[in-house]
Structure 1
Amino acid sequence: MVFDLLAAAADARLPFALEIFERTASTPRVQQVVQLSLAPAFLLSGIGAVMNVIMSRMIWIAQRIDKIEDKMEEQRTSRQARELGWLMRRRKLAQGAIMFSTASAVMISAVIMMLFISAYIVAQIGTVIAALWVLTMALLVIGLGFFLLETRLAAIGAQAPKD
């Protein structure tokens, strides 16, 4: 992509800045790229909404851990220790969900960027864009899987061991 622009500048037919301007001046091309980037942009918005929910749960978990640890300084009970372990597992799952969701948001941003770049270069990068899209979906599915496990663990609760 950069090499295309540099090669065009080396031809000396047009100054480098004019070459860039000429390639990006097409309004229909810009409209087409904007239309193509709408679906990934909406997906990015959805990922952000899911991350907001996960972060809210993570904040609650962190506050609850702090509260239990403060109580445990005074007196340690088996119920508190059990709940602390349960919360720690939930926190790890929520952290995994945040990590993979953030990675998917970064990848979908890269997809949008590559869509714009692909409209102005000679090289065909459709395969790269498709691979980034598949990677985005894989990261998102893994992140949602972590979130599913965290919500399942939350629904079960910190259960006492069965005798």
Structure 2
Amino acid sequence: MFTLPAVSTIAQTIQLSLSPVFMLAGIGSLLNVLAGRMSRVVDRARALEQLHPASTGPEHERHVWELRLLDRRISVINAALFLAVASAVMTCMVVALLFVAELAKLHLGTVVALCFILAMLLLIAALVAFLVEVRVSLRAIHIRPELLD
């Protein structure tokens, strides 16, 4: 016969799920930063795409160089966004599995642990991609030597 779990059992499960929920808040903040960076990169790319046809000589070459750089940044940010969202999904799975395991009296400890490890690995990969994007973006902000004379 199916019995309802005690309130204390549910309270303990909620306590267990707090860490992954805080992790979700951090991932949400990372997603916000990544989306903001993506929008700035896209805006800059659109502005350069309008300047590109009318430019010639060194200015044209600089526009092409920057457009290639922006294209690379868009790819890296897109990868970071994908990885961060995948990490958030896996973190949600951890929370859901904690409750399902407790309510259904299932022994899913190994599955929960593997999901959490995968969520952390995905988050680490997203942060590494973010770091790569920041490093790529720094290439574009160096002041050209001819402007410093």
Normalising by structure 2, report the TM-score: 0.89
Q: Is the 8 A contact 2:100 2:106 kept in 1?
A: no
Residue number in structure 1 paired with 2:104: 121
Residue number in structure 1 paired with 2:53: 73
Among 13, 22, 25, which residue is 1:45 paired with? 25
Q: Deviations over 1:52-110 (max 9, x none)?
A: 00110000000100110011133350010000001111111100100000000000000
After superposition, residues 1-163 of structure 1 pair within 5 angstroms as: 14=1, 19=2, 22-24=3-5, 26-76=6-56, 77-157=60-140
Q: Is the 8 A contact 1:86 1:158 kept in 2?
A: no
In 1: Cα distance, 2:29 partner to 2:74 partner:
19
In 2: Cα distance, 1:101 partner to 1:91 partner:
15
Aligned positions, number: 140
In 2: Cα distance, 1:107 partner to 1:41 partner:
11
In 1: Cα distance, 2:141 partner to 2:106 partner:
56
In 1: Cα distance, 2:35 partner to 2:105 partner:
42
Runs of 4+ in 1 over 6 A off after TM superposition: none
Unmatched 5+ residue regions in structure 1?
A: 1-13
Unmatched 5+ residue regions in structure 2?
A: 143-149
In 2: Cα distance, 1:121 partner to 1:52 partner:
36
In 1: Cα distance, 2:138 partner to 2:62 partner:
17
In 1: Cα distance, 2:30 partner to 2:12 partner:
29
Q: What is the letter of the counterpart of residue 124 of structure 1?
A: H
In 2: Cα distance, 1:122 partner to 1:38 partner:
20
Structural RMSD (CA):
1.6
Normalising by structure 1, report the TM-score: 0.81
Larger Cα Rg: Structure 1 or Structure 2?
A: 1
